[in-house]
Structure 1
Amino acid sequence: MECAYMATFAYAVQISHDQGLSWTTGRVATAGPDWIRKDVEALDPNHLASDVLDKEYRERLLGDGTEPVPLLQVLVWDQPLAQGAPTATSSTGTDSQWQATGDLIEEIANDIRHFEDEKKTHEAAAASAQTAITNAKARLANVVTSAARMKMPQASIAHRAGRSREWVRKTVG
């Protein structure tokens, strides 16, 4: 797609950890035709500000999650240097950032629900297995007791049961 103009814009990403009382510049860069959206013919400073903010915000949202995402704002100048009054700005707290945050919240909550369901399934399987083990041990004890009454040698019983002769003696009492 051919652009209406090939302007280069400068932009700065600013960060605030104190609810906007002070700002530090995190990154200054330039943007050219490679930032043009597919749905427009030329690089627009407002779209650029919004796109850079969205990219920066999402990168921070997907970080390690050890601290909240700071406030961000992007300033765009319609020249290759970041000086003078910006042509466009975009800052967090807009609907698109709320949507990105909401999507991530929903994704994490869904993961938690999935893991909780998986844990319940495994716990139910473990409880069922424990019941089966308990029942099998009771059946084994009953059959071992019957075998001892039939005068089957304790060594044979122990060998077939995979237990010690001491276990057999305690079981048949």
Structure 2
Amino acid sequence: MIIYAFTVQTSRDRGATWDTGPVTIADPAQWRREGADELTAEELASDVLDQTYRQYLDGDGTEAIPLLQVFVWNRAIPSGPPTATSATGLDSQWQATGDLIAEIAADIRHFEEEKRRHDAAAASAQLAITNARHRLASVVTSAARMQMPQVTIAHKAGRSREWVRKTVG
């Protein structure tokens, strides 16, 4: 079993300078791809880059995703040139970004549709309220014509006597 060490580097100035992350010793069992017998350095570099990139994508979006590159050595201590490297700008990162864009756009469409349904329900409720107010005014006017006391009408309607006077007026 080969032991791998890797580090992730980030650049926020288009590659002019790179910040090197901590060196990590890879547990081959953790990173092994399904159905594969042995993990290669190239696969590890690609998988670490993809995982790191997706973590940035899942962030709050307040800052731009930095450029990323991963260096992998086939020994526990990184020394000499790396065995494998991987960097952003590859199809897998574009696919992950495209998937996130599609997911966010679908969320927006869903919320817009939900808002339309709620707006339609609110408009329907407002119409029902308006109709009920007109009906109440009509019945209150009829009750006043029948000589029902204004205090009783106001109490039953849950309104003030002043409202009854204005409605019957």
Match of 2:17 in 1: 22
TM-score scaled by structure 2?
0.95
Number of corresponding residues? 168
* Alpha-carbon distance, 1:107 to partner: 0.8
Match of 1:8 in 2: 3
* Alpha-carbon distance, 1:165 to partner: 1.2
What is the distance in 2 between the residues matched to 1:36 and 1:134? 66
After superposition, the CA RMSD in angstroms is: 1.1
Match of 1:79 in 2: 75
The 8 Å contact of residues 14 and 27 in structure 1, kept in 2 or not, is answered as no
TM-score scaled by structure 1?
0.93
What is the distance in 2 between the residues matched to 1:55 and 1:107? 18
What secondary structure, in the 3-state scheme, does the structure 1 residue paired with 2:70 have?
A: strand
What is the distance in 1 between the residues matched to 2:148 and 2:101? 66
Which runs of structure 2 are paired with 1:17-96 in the superposition (5 Å)?
Answer: 17-34=12-29, 35-96=31-92
1:75 maps to amino acid: F
Among all aligned residue pairs of Structure 1 and Structure 2, give the percentage whose two residues are the same amino acid: 66
Deviations 1:51-100 (A, max 9, x none): 11011111111111111111100011111111111111101111111111
* Alpha-carbon distance, 1:131 to partner: 1.0
Please list every run of at least 4 consecutive aligned residues from structure 1 whose deviation after the TM superposition is greater than 3 angstroms: none
What is the distance in 2 between the residues matched to 1:85 and 1:116? 52
What is the distance in 2 between the residues matched to 1:155 and 1:62? 63
For structure 2, the 5+ residue unaligned runs are: none
